[in-house]
C-alpha cells in the first residue's frame, strides 16, 4: 500500500481515504486480513494511535471488521463496497463539474468535450 500524505488535512483522514481507495479499487479484496495496527503504522510512518483512529473510523462505516482473536479484516459486504465506490465517483464528478463551470464551461460543452475525447 502506498502511503503519501499532504498537509491539507489530518493524517488519520488521509489514511481513511487511502484505505477506502484501496478497498473500492479491489487492491484490498473483501475479507482480506489487515496487518496489525503497529505494522500498518510502521509501513505508513505514522503513530500507532493515528492508525488506530483511522481503522476505528473505517470500522464505524462498515468497511473494516474486527474479529476478537483474529484481527481486522476488510468487509465481505460487496454491496457496501459498490455503494461506497459509487458515492466517491459521484463526488469526483461533482467536483470536476464545479471546476469546469468555474472555468466558464456549460454542462453541454463539458459533455461534448468528453464525447470528443472518447473518439
- What are the pLDDT tens digits along the chain (119 aa)? 889 999 999 999 999 999 999 999 999 999 999 999 999 999 999 999 999 999 999 999 999 999 988 999 999 999 999 999 999 999 999 999 999 999 999 999 999 998 998 76
Q: What is the pLDDT of residues 74-105, one digit of tens each?
A: 999 999 999 999 999 999 999 999 999 999 99
Reported as type and span, the H/E element at residue 73 is strand 71-74
Per-residue HEC secondary structure of 73-94 comes to EECCCHHHHHHHHHHHHHHHHH
Contact residues for 106 (Cβ-Cβ < 8 A; gap 6+): none
| Other Cβ atoms within 10 Å of 37 Cβ, number | 19
What's this model's pTM, rounded to 2 decimal places?
A: 0.82
Q: Strand pairing partners for 37?
A: none
Q: Give the angle subtended at the CA of 29 by the CAs of 94 and 46, to the nearest 5°.
A: 75
Amino acid at each position: 500500500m502506498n502511503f503519501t500524505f499532504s498537509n491539507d488535512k489530518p493524517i488519520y483522514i488521509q489514511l481513511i481515504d487511502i484505505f477506502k481507495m484501496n478497498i473500492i479499487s479491489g487492491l484490498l479484496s473483501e475479507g482480506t486480513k489487515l496487518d496489525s495496527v503497529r505494522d500498518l503504522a510502521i509501513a505508513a510512518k505514522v503513530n500507532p494511535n493515528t492508525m488506530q483512529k483511522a481503522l476505528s473510523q473505517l470500522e464505524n462505516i462498515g468497511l473494516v471488521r474486527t474479529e476478537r482473536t483474529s484481527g481486522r479484516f476488510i468487509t465481505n459486504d460487496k454491496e457496501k463496497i459498490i455503494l461506497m465506490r459509487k458515492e466517491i465517483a459521484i463526488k469526483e464528478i461533482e467536483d470536476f463539474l464545479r471546476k469546469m463551470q468555474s472555468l466558464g464551461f456549460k454542462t453541454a460543452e463539458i459533455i461534448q468535450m468528453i464525447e470528443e475525447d472518447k473518439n
